[in-house]
Amino acid sequence: MIEMNALEKTYITGAVEFQALKLIDLTINKGEYVSIVGPSGSGKSTMMNIIGCLDIPTGGSYKLDGEDVGKMSSNQLADIRNRTIGFVFQAFNLLPYATAYENVEVPLLFAKANNKERERRIIELLNGVGLGNKLNNKPTEMSGGGRQRVAIARALACNPDIILADEPTGNLDTASGSEIVKIFDELHEMGKTVVMITHDMSIADKTDRIIKIRDGLIESDGYHKKAS
């Protein structure tokens, strides 16, 4: 469970302070399917970085599965990220000259999975995103949709409970974007917690809960019947 209480994030650049998140109270339960929307600069990525333990709050608290993330060392943060969270980014962030197989292998090497287990898992993951026939293709040889599929397979390598996606369809055409959202639907069906930042309301409408952020505050937060 994701739990923020009176959470604040202030960035300090030289003599300038900027409060990117202001007294946020937010709970996201295990298995929820959530989108975060809001104008550019409203604090969406800041919130995602905190949810994903890439950054810590400067005030209030953030608890992940009951553990106070703000009090963790950088080693503990790295450990909780590796065990619990899969990240998907707008720009894919793949190794462009490594194959799909090798890209998905990276987190499994860090996790010290043995050869056999790695191979089994990589093939299973790439099959799962519809790339079973592209194991040896490089991102440079793939469409944007294909690249994002590789990135999703990589995010899932260590079987995280939570998938965090920052504008995952931002670089894709509408059709490939819908295909990617279908994969998130499936992950939600499998019981994963999925939190997706998007500018696109037609994509947000496909999730169960829409959190709107403006100027570092939650402007609205509601469940709705999702569009199919």
Ligand X SMILES: Nc1ncnc2c1ncn2[C@@H]1O[C@H](COP(=O)(O)OP(=O)(O)OP(=O)(O)O)[C@@H](O)[C@H]1O
Is residue 42 close enough to count as binding Mg ion by CB under 5 A? no
Is residue 18 close enough to count as binding ligand X by CB under 6 A? yes
Closest CA relative to residue 130, chosen from 182, 85, 88? 182
Choose one: 20-28, 45-53, 82-90, 210-218; the region binding Mg ion (CB under 5 A).
45-53
Q: Tell me the chain's radius of gyration from C-alpha atoms.
A: 18
Choose one: 40-48, 81-89, 93-101, 127-135; the region binding Mg ion (CB under 5 A).
40-48
Pairing of strands 209-214, 193-197: unpaired
Give the one entry of ligand X, Mg ion, none that residue 13 binds, where binding means its C-beta sits below a cut-off of 5 to 8 angstroms depending on kind.
Answer: ligand X
| Cβ–Cβ under 8 Å, residues 28 and 194 | no
CA neighbours closer than 13 Å in the CB half-sphere of residue 84: 18
Is residue 43 close enough to count as binding ligand X by CB under 6 A? yes
CB 58, min distance to ligand X, A:
12
Choose one: 43-51, 53-61, 187-195, 205-213; the region binding Mg ion (CB under 5 A).
43-51
Closest CA relative to residue 170, chosen from 105, 61, 88, 225? 88
Is residue 44 close enough to count as binding ligand X by CB under 6 A? yes
Strand boundaries in 183-224, DSSP class E: 193-197, 209-214, 217-223
Give the one entry of Mg ion, ligand X, none that residue 42 binds, where binding means its C-beta sits below a cut-off of 5 to 8 angstroms depending on kind.
Answer: ligand X
Enter the tokens of residue 100.
């799909």
Count interface residues toward ligand X (CB under 6 A): 12
- Residues in touch with Mg ion (CB under 5 A): 44-45
